[in-house]
Chains A and B, each alone.
Chain A
Amino acid sequence: MHTLTIAGRELRALFVSPVAYVVLTLWSVIAGTFFLASLIGFQERLLQLQQFQMFQQIQETNLNDELIEPFIGSMWVILLFLLPAVTMGLVSSEKANGTEELLLTSPISIWDIVLGKFLAGSGFVLVMTAIIAFFPALLFVYGEPEVGKTVSGLVCLLLVSMTYVAVGVFASSVTRSQLIAFVLTLVLLVMLGLMLPFLVDITLAGSGVGRDSAISKTVQWIATGSHVDRMLRGLVDTADLAYFAISSAVFLLLSKTVIESARWR
């Protein structure tokens, strides 16, 4: 009940902030550009295949694998850099406004605050996902992409965004400065999304520990990449869904602990 009150207020605040509009504009422009580029690439490839009369490959070329999947995959990378701007103020602004004192002396629980912030952020990324959904939807007018794969890709984008919102809530709860929250979220997301597997490869190189080792596998699991890859290809696995749920829960629990313990110092 109170969770929704907090979420509703936060969502309204997000949508009246200039940051939200800058992010949504950039997001739409980048999405449009990427989509157009992918579309042109797709056409050129088909023309090439036709020129060389490679009918077998033409048969195998489809909109999902060659266009929608790489498109959503690219937007996932863009998300890593844009989302911190959305989540940076979620909790930190409460500290800066002094409203933390109001919330923490009201008959609501810290979970109401944390989950409210998470829901508000989720509402925002739902809008971002809806913008992305518009582009594949166009393809249904002119072609015949697979519905299942397309939906799986979009759901994947939404789930990964929500997980990143949880990361953002956490980063935002450790500081009163939006700038620090932004940088911290960016670092965490780039680590989770891009860097982690490389870092492990570099560290383990020459140490005799292979990619099949427990450490390497654990890190691969923690990084978002493999889960996103599978889901973008239309493979919906409970293990990957569990990954999104568990990592969100971990970061929300951390946020709750941070908010609670800040007063004990």
Chain B
Amino acid sequence: MSSSDRADGSAGAGPAIRVSGLAKRYGDFEAVRGLDFTVAPGEVVGFLGPNGAGKTTTMRMLTGFLPASDGEAAIAGHDIFTDATPARRAIGYLPETPPLYPEMTPAGFVTFVAKIKDVPRGERAERVDRALERCGLIDVRDREIRQLSKGYRQRVGLAQAIVHEPAVLVLDEPTVGLDPIQIREIRTLIRDLAATGRQTVLLSTHILAEVEAICQRVILIDRGRKVLDQPIAEITADGGSLEEVFTRVLTRDEADDSAGAGEAA
């Protein structure tokens, strides 16, 4: 792929996200151990795991914030480390704590993000307006972010992630700390984005209902390794609930671990 590919056009061939052998070590501690998975364009994937499983670390490597200790990650065909600029243009990222400048207004902030994400000057105002509108921020567009409620701040975080219309959206626990109504609003928003069929989404959470409501497929990780990668329809086809399956997989994983590496189910 040539580096002139734009964020919206580059998802044509190959997977939207490709991760192979990705690992992160902090000294002796292995946060992520040899992770492999791919996400097809337009797919909405839930990235699940208990707290401390390595979800945030994986997402940080995927977005180029953290360098990987080992392995590769590519966004829309661009390696995130060696071909960083086009890869970064193709990514919209909402970290665990939404990155916000409290003294700015949503409109000012999203415009700033549009600039640093290389949205062409001519399209900037229009795309900023569209992002604000999609995230329901039109009424508060000129208020200071510091005055906004947590739910609204999360929406501003989402607006900055989608303003450059990236091929891939990476959302790290987008509903954590919100009240039930705000959670529903954010979910609706993500589902609307996904409903276009062109938006690839990787969404981390540990709320199973969220995954069932939004995602087509789940990737479950535990202690830095992938333990399950399956479409939701398959999981629930034989009458099982996500919760049952996950509990079973996670318990088995723990048992495997204590019994030694050679044990097979």
For the complex, would chain A's binding face be called helix, strand, loop or mixed by DSSP majority? helix
Interface pair A98/B116, CB less than 8 Å apart? no
CA distance A9 to B103 in the complex (A): 10
As a 0/1 sequence over residues 84 to 114 of chain B, the CB contacts with chain A under 8 angstroms (1 = contact) are 1110110101010111111110000000110
In residues 95-149 of chain A, which contact B (Cβ within 8 Å)?
A: 97-108
Query: Would you list 20 pairs from A and B whose C-beta atoms are within 8 A, ordered by A residue?
Result: A5-B112, A6-B116, A9-B104, A97-B100, A97-B101, A98-B95, A98-B97, A99-B99, A101-B60, A101-B99, A102-B99, A105-B63, A105-B65, A105-B88, A105-B91, A106-B113, A106-B116, A107-B116, A107-B117, A263-B67
Interface pair A106/B88, CB less than 8 Å apart? yes
- Interchain CB contact (< 8 A) of B102 among A6, A97, A100, A264: A97
Tell whether A17 is near chain B: CB-to-CB under 8 Å. yes
- Interchain CB contact (< 8 A) of B116 among A101, A108, A264: A108
Interface pair B116/A2, CB less than 8 Å apart? yes
Interface pair A5/B97, CB less than 8 Å apart? no
- Interchain CB contact (< 8 A) of B113 among A97, A102, A104, A264: A102
Tell whether A214 is near chain B: CB-to-CB under 8 Å. no
CA distance A16 to B95 in the complex (A): 26
Chain B residues, Cβ within 8 Å of A102: 93, 95, 99, 113, 160
As a 0/1 sequence over residues 43 to 83 of chain B, the CB contacts with chain A under 8 angstroms (1 = contact) are 00000000000000000100111110000000000000000
In residues 68-104 of chain A, which contact B (Cβ within 8 Å)?
A: 97-104
Tell whether B184 is near chain A: CB-to-CB under 8 Å. no
CA distance A106 to B64 in the complex (A): 9
Size of interface on A: residues with Cβ below 8 Å to B: 21
As a 0/1 sequence over residues 16 to 28 of chain A, the CB contacts with chain B under 8 angstroms (1 = contact) are 1100000000000
Tell whether B118 is near chain A: CB-to-CB under 8 Å. yes
Chain A residues, Cβ within 8 Å of B67: 263-264
Interface pair B89/A107, CB less than 8 Å apart? yes
**Least CB distance, B98 to chain A, in whole angstroms:** 7
Residues of A whose CB lies within 8 Å of any CB of B are 2, 5-6, 9, 13, 16-17, 97-108, 263-264
Knowing A5-B112, A101-B65 are in contact, say whether A106-B101 is a contact too (CB < 8 A).
no
Chain B residues, Cβ within 8 Å of A106: 88, 113, 116-117
Tell whether B248 is near chain A: CB-to-CB under 8 Å. no
Interface pair A263/B65, CB less than 8 Å apart? yes
Q: A5-B116, A105-B93, A106-B113 are in contact. List 17 more A-B contacts (CB 8 A).
A: A2-B116, A5-B112, A5-B115, A6-B116, A9-B112, A16-B103, A97-B101, A98-B95, A98-B100, A99-B101, A102-B93, A102-B99, A105-B63, A107-B84, A107-B86, A107-B116, A108-B116
Knowing A5-B112, A98-B95 are in contact, say whether A104-B65 is a contact too (CB < 8 A).
yes
**Least CB distance, A20 to chain B, in whole angstroms:** 11
Chain B residues, Cβ within 8 Å of A6: 116
CA distance A105 to B177 in the complex (A): 24
CA distance A101 to B57 in the complex (A): 12
Chain B residues, Cβ within 8 Å of A101: 60, 65, 93, 95, 99
Chain A residues, Cβ within 8 Å of B112: 5, 9
**Least CB distance, B83 to chain A, in whole angstroms:** 11
Interface pair B101/A13, CB less than 8 Å apart? yes
Chain A residues, Cβ within 8 Å of B86: 107
**Least CB distance, A116 to chain B, in whole angstroms:** 10
CA distance A103 to B99 in the complex (A): 9
Chain B residues, Cβ within 8 Å of A13: 101, 103-104
The winner among A9, A104, A105, A263 for most chain B CB atoms within 10 A is A105
- What 8 A-B pairs come out closest when comparing CB atoms? A102-B99, A99-B99, A107-B88, A98-B97, A105-B63, A98-B99, A5-B115, A106-B116
**Least CB distance, A69 to chain B, in whole angstroms:** 39
CA distance A99 to B104 in the complex (A): 13
CA distance A2 to B97 in the complex (A): 24
CA distance A127 to B196 in the complex (A): 50
CA distance A17 to B146 in the complex (A): 13
Interface pair A103/B116, CB less than 8 Å apart? yes
**Least CB distance, B91 to chain A, in whole angstroms:** 7
CA distance A188 to B102 in the complex (A): 29
CA distance A5 to B108 in the complex (A): 12
Nearest A residue to B69, CB-CB: A264
CA distance A5 to B65 in the complex (A): 20
Chain A residues, Cβ within 8 Å of B160: 102
Interface pair A107/B99, CB less than 8 Å apart? no
**Least CB distance, A152 to chain B, in whole angstroms:** 37
Chain A residues, Cβ within 8 Å of B64: 104-105
CA distance A106 to B99 in the complex (A): 12
- Interchain CB contact (< 8 A) of B99 among A2, A9, A97, A264: A97
As a 0/1 sequence over residues 5 to 25 of chain B, the CB contacts with chain A under 8 angstroms (1 = contact) are 000000000000000000000
